[in-house]
A and B are shown apart, each in its own frame.
Chain A
């Protein structure tokens, strides 16, 4: 995958066949009776300095991928190589030592900040945990971070409840930056914010990326915002990647039927376009990840479903340079192994639209 998606750039994060299953225990004896397959075989790379957008609807597993990538969840199977180290199987102490390179910005800035700590303590906590800085050095670093995210230094002794949603998200970002990470998972960082505040936070994330050379996994259900911030976009459906494409190609011409339906469902703030757009209205709801359909997980709602979709699971295959689609309309079922484009030949059939 690496040579074809961004020639010459080195992948910082390499995910191979990642699975995260949550056990279901039922009955009086809490027997293990099944698994919620939240993430079921996901592979992708994130290049150094790149922003990979990860989109999909609630329950598709996008947040679980984000959390598994920095080992907030233990993967059931697969590997997550960050900067040369496979963190999926790392022991606790080695993991602790590598944590500073990977950080996370959470969705709900209220719930992810300790209400009993002052701002300087919240932002300084990673420094206390991972560095040998003394109190003066820590405060100096906290002030630097506050400058970087646009928080007034005078606020250092205030509590998080004294801030608005947008400012709280800045606190969360400052904390994530404290240890000079290389990779940040942004899990719906703007979903809880008002429209007029969202742009402030997204611009800040972009500025910081340019300033510190950060690599982002940007998880969101806001497809317009992902188009703005991401270089490449992965569309997830029910624990699997349906399509992984460069941003412009995806938005101009989504290939996977789910990606097409998803993009056509997003309302646009333009009445003239809204009146003339053709919408693909999907029937029904997303099936339960505890009991996904056989074959392609999208086969129960797909408007272009064919026989093979009910029996065989489609494999994520490169169908155009840089564009990977898991759909039988595009790949022959024998082509390649999951997500590794090096071993699959580009297959152009069905790329008519």
Chain B
């Protein structure tokens, strides 16, 4: 990992709350991370852990109200993009940061051709003419592996299969050569053999284009195969962060450890009984003054009820650069 390099994206202390009838929900709580050039950062967590909301907060994609990005800094290209306003953000989205969403059917416009939708950011951000944009759009479709690209520009989204639509989404996200590509569960809606195709495409595009990617997923298998570094989220907070091999070989947070044990294996010794994580994820209606995982934790200490653990480094590297964990308990194999 090129740790000396300037990060392309640096997020510090991000806080997002939702105002609801039953009070404020602390969806993202003091989340910090950075993304190095060319790196793929995997973000794992269950539904409601705040992984998508974190990324949407960065780009001002959450409707406000009810959402309120209450604090933090997001440094991209030398600017704090939380402070550049709506028009400023419009120049960032699609140009500097590309976004691929989970469901390609609902994120593509059904009444415009695919070509039209790939050309739109090129015309808007790159100032291309329609003719130039059309040539570039065909190149992009070819890049993401759609056969007969020039002809398919005239097709509508419904004329593509799910996997092909996700390829179109990736082409749109890549149109303006963004510094950062954020992919939010891009393969969750796809079948495994199609998912394998898309993962193969992303590996291929990374070597060709070298952009930095944030990959959000709940699937630890996908993360294991594609990420350089992993951030585990629980209840709106980062609970563990490490290089991918390290995280799977020596997980430190009780949640990460339990999560890895709970998934059945495809090969090797078959487990007689699945390990479970008892209980439910917490409602995040209060500012956390305690560890959010303590009720389900097998290693909970008295301290966990009174003090929300901060991320601490396990290997001497600054937090966020090596292996860090937000937990009071010190595991014996640290």
Whether the pair B263, A224 counts as a contact (CB closer than 8 A) is yes
Contact status B221-A269, CB under 8 Å = yes
- Which residues 188-205 of A have a CB within 8 angstroms of B? 194-200, 202-203
Chain A residue numbers with a CB within 8 Å of B329 are none
- 6 pairs of residues in contact across A and B, judged by CB atoms under 8 Å: A196-B259, A199-B274, A227-B270, A270-B224, A271-B248, A282-B197
Cβ A202 vs Cβ B274 within 8 A: yes
Taken residue by residue from 155 to 178, chain A's Cβ proximity to chain B (1 for < 8 Å, 0 otherwise) reads as 000000000101000000000000
* Bound-state Cα–Cα, A263 to B267, Å: 10
Q: Does B295 contact A (CB under 8 A)?
A: no
Contacts of B262 on A, CB cut-off 8 Å?
A: 195-196, 198-199
Scoring B residues 221 to 256 as 1 if CB is less than 8 Å from chain A, else 0, what string do you get?
111110000000000000000001100100000000
Q: How far is the CB of A342 from chain B (nearest CB, A)?
A: 30
Cβ-defined contact, B264 with A228, below 8 A: yes
- Asked if B266 and A268 make an inter-chain contact with CB atoms under 8 angstroms apart, the answer reads yes
Q: When the two chains form the complex, which single residue of B191, B220, B222 contacts A57, counting CB atoms closer than 8 Å?
A: B191
In contact, B197 and A281 (Cβ under 8 angstroms): yes
**Cross-chain contact A194 with B263 (CB below 8 angstroms):** no
B89 at the interface (CB under 8 A from A): no
Q: Given A267-B221, A267-B224, do A272 and B245 touch, yes or no (CB 8 Å)? A: yes
Q: How large is the interface on B (under 10, 10 to 19, 20 to 34, 35 or more residues)?
A: 35 or more
Contact of B161 (CB < 8 Å), options: A223, A279, A285 = A285
How many angstroms from the CA of A225 to the CA of B263 in the assembled complex?
A: 8
- B219 cross-chain contacts in A, Cβ below 8 A: 267
User: Smallest distance from the beta carbon of B80 to chain A beta carbons, Å?
Assistant: 34
**Contact indicator A263/B266 (Cβ below 8 Å):** yes
Name the distance in Å between B46's Cβ and chain A's nearest Cβ.
4
Select which of B196, B218, B264 is within 8 A of A194 by beta carbon. Answer: B218
The answer to whether the Cβ of B192 comes within 8 Å of any Cβ in the partner chain is yes
B111 in the interface, Cβ–Cβ < 8 Å?
A: no
Which of A267, A270, A285 lies at the interface centre, i.e. has the most chain B CB atoms within 10 A of its CB? A267
> Do residues B273 and A203 form an inter-chain contact, with CB atoms below 8 A?
yes
Whether B275 sits at the interface, judged by CB under 8 Å, is yes
Known: A196-B281, A228-B274, A272-B245. 18 other contacts (CB 8 A): A57-B191, A57-B192, A194-B47, A195-B262, A196-B46, A196-B277, A199-B275, A203-B274, A203-B276, A224-B263, A227-B266, A227-B270, A261-B193, A263-B266, A266-B192, A268-B224, A274-B221, A274-B224
Chain B residue at minimal CB-CB distance from A226:
B264
Decide if A274 touches B194 in the complex (CB within 8 Å): no
B258 contacts A196, C-beta separation under 8 Å: yes
In the bound complex, do residue B225 and residue A271 qualify as a contact, i.e. CB atoms below 8 Å apart? Answer: yes
CB of B208 closer than 8 Å to a CB of A = no
A123 to chain B, nearest CB (A): 21
The 4 closest A-B pairs by CB, nearest first: A267-B221, A265-B196, A57-B191, A274-B225
User: Taking the complex as formed, is A221 at the interface, i.e. its CB lies under 8 A from any CB of chain B?
Assistant: yes
Chain B proximity of A54: nearest CB distance (Å):
15
Instruction: Check B244 against A271 for contact (C-beta < 8 Å).
Output: yes
